[in-house]
């Protein structure tokens, strides 16, 4: 089934709002759906969905540890490390675990087989259900920089039996690429402001490089200017839905309440949004 | 002895650099002869992370016994200690000026970091 990523260059445009309201709309339509919150630095979809977590697991990345009795201090491990996580200093080896990406090259290529790998915890994944929605997210340890392995662990909890909604982190860097890389379609959420446009452009360049079909959701579409729409038109980037600003929605949001639960017109907006994605996706598959 | 001085350029007349891991050059001097052995380019000056320990590794690999620097971060000082490279602070003016101070014995030995991690990236 469709693997749908929801991303944005700019933060605070409404990714989580879209992800949660879309999941609830689809559930109501009896479409099997799962929501994977991959914004592991600031997961917040659970605040709105309020799932009951039934599974919790620590996630780590393998970092090297050196048996100094076997080590010949040849320096090969430091040479092959792309992230300066090892320094060979005469008869000592310094390991900078926080720089290690866990690729395993040092251990694999050590001529003396002096390196073993131990997991360094970086965060946890939690999953559970709320009504018929399967929900999972990751929580990165405070101060931790290495989020992609945790994002991949969240994604592994998903299944191919139900429509998958990936709530991606904001921006265009490694964590976003990890979150959206195997998606069929990517929704780029933006707002009609100069900031929104600047970051939409960055995000569109990113998905184009990754070869993922994309469409735009303009949130708070009745504020700002028309430059985002002009940009989409110029780049033949489809606008999937426009969501107007709405005081009641903001009030529900502040109470941790998804708007589709209370406003029938929002359900229609999201139903239409989904239908538009499906027809774009089917069009892309046919091509 | 082989002494390294953190510098912005090559040779005795080069201006010193206050940073350790991210200085562009280490000018290696023979302190007995007062001559430059080589001006070693610091290939990790622009690294995203771990520049300090990599610089320590570079110096250790050339059997350098001491380094004169301005500031040093926590990972770099640990790496220099592990490599048994003596650390002096107080680079001033040019490499030659700094060498003079070293020979006079007026430079301070450093045992702890003088700045926090990544300080060299902010300059």
The structural domain count of chain B equals 1
Q: Where are the domains of chain A?
A: 3-59+122-286, 68-113
Q: Could you tell me where the DSSP H helices lie in B1-123? A: 51-61, 74-82, 95-104
Dihedral angle computed from the Cα positions of residues A222, A212, A179 and A259, in that order, rounded to the nearest 10 degrees = 30
Pick the CATH number of A3-59+122-286 from 3.40.50.300, 3.10.20.70, 3.30.360.10, 3.30.9.100: 3.40.50.300
**Mean pLDDT value across chain A:** 96
Give the Cα separation of A139 and A42 in Å (integer): 7
Do A3-59+122-286 and A68-113 fold alike per CATH? no
pLDDT in tens, B33-55: 999 999 999 999 999 899 999 99
Place of tokens 């982190």: A169
The answer to whether B117 faces chain A, any CB pair under 8 Å, is no
Give the Cα separation of B83 and B20 in Å (integer): 15
Domain boundaries, position B69: 2-117
Place of tokens 């014995």: B105
Residue A91's closest chain B neighbor by CA?
B83
Domain containing residue B38: CATH number: 3.30.420.130
The answer to whether A80 faces chain B, any CB pair under 8 Å, is no
The answer to whether B60 faces chain A, any CB pair under 8 Å, is yes
The answer to whether B43 faces chain A, any CB pair under 8 Å, is no
Give the Cα separation of A44 and A50 in Å (integer): 10
Between chains, do A99 and B82 touch, taking CB under 8 Å as contact? no
> End-to-end distance of chain B based on CA atoms, in angstroms?
31
For the purposes of burial, counting CB atoms within 10 Å of the CB of A211, is it exposed (0-12), middle (13-18) or buried (19 or more)? exposed
Residue A73's closest chain B neighbor by CA?
B61
Q: Do the Cβ atoms of A192 and A224 come closer than 8 Å?
A: yes
Residue B97 in domain: yes
Residue B123 in domain: no
Two structure tokens written together for B87: 């650390």
pLDDT in tens, B61-119: 999 999 999 999 999 999 999 999 999 998 999 999 999 999 999 999 999 998 988 88
Q: Do the Cβ atoms of A273 and A219 come closer than 8 Å?
A: no
Residue B75 in domain: yes
Chain A residues in contact with B49 (beta carbon < 8 A) = 83-84, 96, 99
Chain B residues in contact with A76 (beta carbon < 8 A) = none
Pick the CATH number of A68-113 from 3.90.650.10, 1.20.140.10, 3.40.50.1000, 3.30.70.20: 3.30.70.20
Structure ipTM: 0.89
Each of the 287 residues of chain A gets a pLDDT tens digit; together they read 899 999 999 999 999 999 999 999 999 999 999 999 999 999 999 999 999 999 999 999 999 999 999 999 999 999 999 999 999 999 999 999 999 999 999 999 999 999 999 999 999 999 999 999 999 999 999 999 899 999 999 999 999 999 999 999 999 999 999 999 999 999 999 999 999 999 999 999 999 999 999 999 999 999 999 999 999 999 999 999 999 999 999 999 999 999 999 999 999 999 999 999 999 998 888 87
């Amino acid at each position: 089934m469709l693997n749908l990523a929801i991303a944005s260059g700019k933060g605070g445009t409404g990714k989580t709002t879209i992800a949660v309201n879309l999941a609830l709309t689809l559930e109501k339509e009896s479409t099997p759906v799962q929501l994977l919150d991959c914004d592991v630095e600031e997961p917040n979809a659970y605040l709105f969905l309020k799932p009951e977590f039934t599974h919790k697991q620590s996630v780590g990345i393998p970092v090297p540890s050196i048996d100094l009795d076997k080590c010949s201090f040849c320096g090969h491990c430091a040479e092959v490390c792309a992230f300066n996580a090892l320094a060979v200093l005469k008869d000592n080896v310094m390991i900078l675990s926080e720089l290690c990406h866990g690729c395993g090259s040092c251990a694999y290529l050590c001529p003396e087989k002096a390196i073993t790998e131990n997991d360094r915890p970086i965060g946890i994944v939690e999953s559970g259900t709320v009504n018929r929605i399967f929900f999972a997210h990751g929580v990165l340890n405070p101060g931790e920089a290495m989020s992609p392995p945790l994002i991949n662990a969240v994604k592994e909890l998903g299944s191919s039996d139900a429509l998958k909604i990936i709530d991606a982190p904001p921006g265009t860097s490694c964590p976003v690429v990890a979150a959206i890389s195997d998606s069929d379609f990517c929704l780029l959420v933006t707002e009609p402001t100069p900031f929104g446009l600047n970051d939409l452009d960055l995000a569109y360049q990113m998905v184009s490089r990754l070869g993922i079909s994309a469409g735009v959701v303009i949130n708070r579409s009745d504020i700002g200017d028309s430059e985002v729409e002009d940009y989409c038109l110029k780049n033949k980037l489809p606008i999937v839905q426009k969501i107007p600003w709405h005081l009641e929605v903001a009030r529900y949001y502040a109470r941790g309440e998804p708007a589709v639960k209370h406003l029938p017109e929002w359900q229609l907006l999201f139903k239409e949004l989904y239908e538009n994605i499906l027809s774009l996706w089917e069009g892309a598959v046919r091509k | 002895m082989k002494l390294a001085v953190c510098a912005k350029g090559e040779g005795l007349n080069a201006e010193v650099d206050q940073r350790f891991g991210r200085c562009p050059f280490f000018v290696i001097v023979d302190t007995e002869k007062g001559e430059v052995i080589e001006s070693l380019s610091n290939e990790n000056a622009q690294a995203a992370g771990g520049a300090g320990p990599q610089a320590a590794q570079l110096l250790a690999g050339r059997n350098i016994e001491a380094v004169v620097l301005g500031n040093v971060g926590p990972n770099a000082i640990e790496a220099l200690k592990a490599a048994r490279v003596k650390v002096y602070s107080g680079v001033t003016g040019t490499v030659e000026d700094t060498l003079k101070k070293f020979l006079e014995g007026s430079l301070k030995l450093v045992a702890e970091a003088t700045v926090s991690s990544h300080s060299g990236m902010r300059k």
